[in-house]
Amino acid sequence: MKNFLALALTLFLGVLLILSLTGNTQFTTFGTDNTDNRVSSEYISKGAAVAIIYGVTNDPESGPANIVTSIVVDYRSFDTLGEVTVLFISALGVALLIGSGAKQKRLSLNFKPNFMLRVGSRALFGIIMMTGVYITLHGHLTPGGGFPGGAMIASSILLLYLADDEFRSKIKGFKILEGAAGSLYVILGLLGLVLATYFLQNFLPNGTVGNLFSSGIIPIVYILIGLKVGSEISGVIDNFLTEEDAL
Amino acid sequence: MTLFDIISIVVSVLLLVIAFLALNSKKLINAIVFLSGLSMLAVVAFVLMKAPDVALTEAVIGSGLVTSLFIFTLLSVKKGEAK
Amino acid sequence: MIQYAAILLIVLGLYGLLTNRNVIKMIVSLNVMEIGLNIFIISVGFVYDGIAPILTSTNSSSALLFVDPLPQALVLTAIVIGVGTTALGLAIAKNIYSKYGTFNLDEVEEK
C-alpha cells in the first residue's frame, strides 16, 4: 500500500515537471538559445566593448582566461566562501560523531599487502600528488582549479592508507593547515575591504590575459581552497578508518 | 540524426538502466558499484555538453572518494558480524 | 533527450528514497537524485555548435559561440556540497550500526 502511494506521488511529480516545461515560451528548447540574450554575455565579454584576445589584452575587468573561474572566484566569490563553510561544517560533524583520540589503532583489514603493492604505491603517490598541485596552480588558464586539485591530493593520501597497514598521517598537522587556510581566505577578503572598496575585491593588478602570473589574488585563493579541501577530506578518511573501543 | 544525437540517446538509456539496477539490487555492494558506474556515465554526459570543469570535478570525486567512503562503512559491518 | 533522462533520474531517486528501509540504500538514492539534478542544470545552458568557455590563442571573446558558463559555476558548488552531505550521512549510519546492530530502520524502531 505504501509502495503504491509512493509510486503514484512520484509519477505525478514527474508528469508535472515535464508538462510545465514543454510548451513554455520562457524555457527554450534544448540547445537553441543564444547567450546574447542572457546575463552570461556580460561575463564572457568582461564588460568591455572590444574583444578580449589571449596574450594581448592588458588589464581587463577580471583576469582569468577560464571564464568559469572568473565567475566562481571573482564575480561570485561570496558564494564560494559559503561553500567552503558548508564543507567545514560537514567535516566537523564527522569528527564529532566518529572521531576519537589519537591513541586508537587502525581498522585492521583481512589481507596483508604484498611487496608489489607497497612499492608501487609509493611511485604512484608522487605522480598523483604532482598532478593535483598542477591542476590547482593553473586554475585560471585551464579547466580545474581548487576543488578537483584538492580532491586529487586527498586521493593520493587515500592510496597510502590502502597500501600500508600501519600508516596514520599526522592528524594535528592537517587540522592546523585546514584552519589556517580557511582563515586566510577571510583575511584576504578583509584586506580587499581595507585596501580597496568592497569585501573580497581583487586588489592586486590583473596583468595580461594568459600569463601564469596574472589575475590578481585569484591563484592565491585557489591555492588556499585546494589545501583546505585536501586536508579536510584526508581527515574524514582517517576518521572512517579508526577502530572503536572494545565494547 | 547526427553523431551527437546518437551518442546522447545511448548515454540516456544507459543512465536509466544502471540507476534502476542500483536501486533494486539485493546486496549492498552491488548498489555501491552501480552508483560508481553511474558517476562515470555522468562524466561522459558532461563532456558531451562541453563542460570540462564540471567533468573533471565529478570524475575525481565520484570515482575515488565517495565510493571509498561507502566501502569503509561496509567494512565495519563485516567486522561486527565476525565478532 | 538528455533532459528527459535527467528528470526521470530525479523521479527514480525520489521513489528509492521513499520506499527503501535500509539506511545505505537511502543514501545511494540521494546520490542518484543529485546526479540527475546536476545533469539537468547543465543541459539548460547548452548551445548547439558552441565551444567550451575558455579563451585560448585561437578563440577570442567575440569570435565564436560560447556555451553558457553560469550553470557550470553553480553545479561546481553543488557537487562538492553533495560530497559533504554523503560523508555526514555515512557517519550517522555507522553510529546506527554500532548502537543497534542493524541497518534496517524497521528493526531499529522496534528496539
| A26 has pLDDT over 60 | yes
Partners of residue A151 in chain B, C-beta under 8 Å: 57, 60-61, 64-65
Which residues, including other chains, have CB under 8 Å from residue C33's CB and lie 6 or more apart? C9, C10, C13, C14, C17
CB within 8 Å: A107 and B75: yes
CB atoms within 10 A of CB A108: 10
Give how far B49 is from chain C: nearest CA, Å. 6
* Per-residue pLDDT tens digits for B14-30: 999 999 999 999 999 99
**Cell numbers standing for residue A4:** 503504491
Closest Cα to residue A177, out of A233, A95, A99, A126?
Answer: A233
Average pLDDT score over residue span B3-23 = 94
Q: Cell 589519537 sits at which residue?
A: A102
Burial A64-80 (b: 16+ CB within 10 A, else e): bbbbbbbbbbbbbbeeb
Q: How confident is the model at residue A58 (pLDDT cuts 50, 70, 90)?
A: confident
Strand partners, A208: A58
Task: Count CB neighbours of A220 within 10 A.
Answer: 14
Report residue A108 as a C-alpha cell: 585492521
Exposure string of B4-37, with b = 16+ CB inside 10 Å and e = fewer, is eeeebeebbebbeebbeebbebeebeebbbbbbb
Cβ–Cβ gap C80/B22 under 8 Å:
no
Per domain, the residue ranges of chain C are 2-110
Predicted local confidence at residue C29, as pLDDT: 96
- Are the Cβ atoms of A158 and B73 closer than 8 angstroms? no
Which residues in chain A touch residue C79, judged by CB atoms under 8 angstroms apart?
A: 147
* Cβ–Cβ pairs < 8 A, chains A and C: 143
A236 chain-C contacts, CB cut-off 8 A: 87
Partner residue facing A86 (CB), from C43, C76, C84: C84
Q: Select the residue from C76, C85, C105 to test the A interface by mutation, using most A Cβ atoms within 10 A.
A: C76
DSSP one-letter code for B63: I
DSSP sequence for C8-67: HHHHHHHHHHHH--BHHHHHHHHHHHHHHHHHHHHHHT-BTT-B-SB--SS--TTTSPBP
**How does pLDDT run across A77-136, given as a tens digit for each residue?**
999 999 999 999 999 999 999 877 655 556 666 667 788 888 888 889 999 999 999 999
C32 interfaces chain B, CB cutoff of 8 Å: yes
> B43, B67, B72: which to substitute to probe chain A, counting the most A Cβ within 10 Å?
B72
Instruction: Count Cα neighbours of B33 within 13 Å in the Cβ-side half-sphere.
Output: 6
CA distance B58 to B63: 8
Show which of residues 42-81 on chain A sit within 8 Å of chain B, judged by CB atoms. Answer: 66, 68-69
Number of Cβ within a 10 Å radius of residue A36 = 10
Residues contacting A62, CB < 8 A, separation 6+: A46, A70, A74, A75, A202, A206, A215
Please judge whether B49 and C90 are an interchain contact, meaning their C-beta atoms are less than 8 angstroms apart: no
Determine whether the interchain pair C38/B58 forms a contact, defined as Cβ–Cβ distance below 8 Å.
yes
User: Chain A, 97-126: which have a CB under 8 Å from a chain C CB?
Assistant: 97-98
Residues C20 and B23 sit within 8 Å (Cβ to Cβ): yes
Percent of chain A exceeding pLDDT 70 equals 91
Distance between CA atoms of C15 and C9, rounded to whole angstroms?
A: 10
Confidence of residue A246 (pLDDT cuts 50, 70, 90): very low
Q: Region A222-242: what's the mean pLDDT?
A: 91
Range of lowest pLDDT (A143-157, B15-29, B37-51, C58-72): C58-72
A145 touches chain B (CB under 8 A): yes
Tell me whether residues A68 and B76 touch, CB distance under 8 A: no
Rg, Å, chain A Cα set: 23
What's the CA gap between C47 and A169, in Å, rounded? 46
User: Do C7 and C40 form a contact (C-beta atoms < 8 A)?
Assistant: yes
At B60, the pLDDT band (50, 70, 90 cuts) reads very high
* Distance, C-alpha B3 to centroid of its chain: 24
A27-43 pLDDT, tens per residue? 888 888 888 888 888 88
The domain spans of chain B are 3-82
C2-110: what CATH class?
A: mainly alpha
Mutate to test the interface with C, among B14, B73, B75, B79 (most CBs of C within 10 A): B73
What pLDDT, on the 0 to 100 scale, is given for residue A107? 63
Interface contact flag, C13 B39, Cβ < 8 Å: no
Percent of chain C with pLDDT over 70: 99
Whether A210 and C72 lie within 8 Å, measured CB to CB: no
- In which band, very low, low, confident or very high, does the pLDDT at B35 lie, cut at 50, 70 and 90? very high
pTM score, whole prediction:
0.92
Q: Is A164 helix (H, G, I), strand (E, B) or coil?
A: coil
Please report the pLDDT score of residue A186 as a whole number.
93
Q: Is A207 near chain B, with CB under 8 Å?
A: no
ipTM rounded to 2 decimals: 0.91
* Residue whose C-alpha cell reads 586508537 in the numeric block: A104
Could you identify the residue written with the cell 560508481? Answer: B36
Enumerate the residues of chain A whose CB falls inside 8 A of the CB of residue B61. 148, 151
The C-alpha of A114 sits at a distance from chain C's nearest C-alpha, in angstroms, of 29
| DSSP character string of A19-66 | HHHHS-SSS--TB---GGGSTHHHHHHTT-SSPP-TTT-BS-SS--SB
Segments of chain C with pLDDT less than 50: none
The size of chain C, in residues, is 111
| Environment class of A19 (CB within 10 Å of its CB; exposed 0-12, middle 13-18, buried 19+) | exposed
